Amino acid sequence: MSVVSAKEMMNLAYEGGYAVPAFNIHSLETVQVAAEAAAETKSPLMITATPSYAGKDYLKNLDANDPRKYLTPRKEAMKKVAIEKIMMCESSGKA
């Protein structure tokens, strides 16, 4: 998995005729699930964050606020939704 600029990613998507799913993160678990789904489907993805929603302190201290402590059973369901979003964007295999 590599990191590229949004401009480069969008140019590749435009040329390839597919969309790039974006996942707005609120926790480390969300990042992990989105990254695993993208890796599993060999798809590009964008990770976005909303400091106004979660607060800058929350985003700076994601380890301390890690919901895996109580949300681990929901991980597979979240991953399934992430894969469905990737498939809707027709970006599977484009990474």
Q: Residue 83 contacts by C-beta under 8 Å, 6 or more apart in sequence?
A: 37, 40, 41
Q: Can you state the angle between helices 75-88 and 28-41, rounded to 10 degrees?
A: 50
Q: Is the pLDDT of residue 17 over 90?
A: yes
pLDDT at 80: 84
The span from the CA of 37 to the CA of 95, in Å, is: 12
pTM of the predicted model as reported, rounded to 2 decimal places: 0.58
Using 50, 70 and 90 to split pLDDT, how confident is the model at 68?
Answer: low
Query: Given a cut of 90, is residue 69 above it in pLDDT?
Result: no
pLDDT band for position 25 (cuts 50, 70, 90): confident
- Secondary structure E strands in the chain: 22-25, 46-49
